[in-house]
Amino acid sequence: MKSQSLADRLFQIFIARTDVFGVEDETGAWRTERGKLTEGAVEKHLKGEFTLGVYPFNQKGYIKWVLADLDFKGGQAVYEYMCKKFSQESTLMVDTGGKGTHIFVILQPTPLWQIANQIGQMEKELKIRLFPKQREWRTDTI
């Protein structure tokens, strides 16, 4: 059995849409790119050639992950909260390399409408930003 590359595995876990993605420029501003997102782009992101941002939902409104975007280091309390709400096995805390921390919860593809209220409640309780920001699905979101 052939082992998967890291880029391929991350692509499978995190990428919900391959037709649109975000790219951060040298000033820190984000722009939306339309086109084919590939495993090669993920590899370039991993090598630090550019910063890639992906959308958590597909064209049908199913999300693959929830992200707590913390503008501070640490986040252990938020991580523990997310582990209790979901599971430790599906929760990952990552140092962004800058000033913050990302806490991901990896989901089975889930309709946004099924989890939107829970995301909103967690934002209120934790007083932090959670992605996806959308709480209802619209086909014109992107």
Where in the chain are the domains? 6-53, 62-131
- HSE-CB for 4 with a 13 A CA cutoff: 9
Among 103, 114, 105, 107, smallest CA distance to 74 is for 103
Yes or no: domain 62-131 corresponds to CATH 3.30.70: yes
- Which pLDDT score, from 0 to 100, does residue 1 have? 41
DSSP letters of 115-134? HHHHHHHHHHHHTSEEE---
pLDDT digits (tens, 9 = 90+) for 77-99: 999 999 999 999 999 999 887 78
- Which pLDDT score, from 0 to 100, does residue 73 have? 82
Low-confidence ranges of the chain (pLDDT < 50): 1
Residues β-bridged to residue 130: 68
d(CA 120, CA 89) in angstroms, rounded, equals: 22
d(CA 40, CA 7) in angstroms, rounded, equals: 8
Q: C-alpha dihedral over 31, 54, 76, 117, to 10 degrees?
A: 100
- Which pLDDT score, from 0 to 100, does residue 131 have? 92
* Residues in Cβ contact with 77 at an 8 Å cutoff, skipping those fewer than 6 apart: none
- pTM to 2 decimal places: 0.84
Q: Are 88 and 62 in contact (CB under 8 A)?
A: no
Residue 110 φ/ψ, nearest 5 degrees: -130, 135
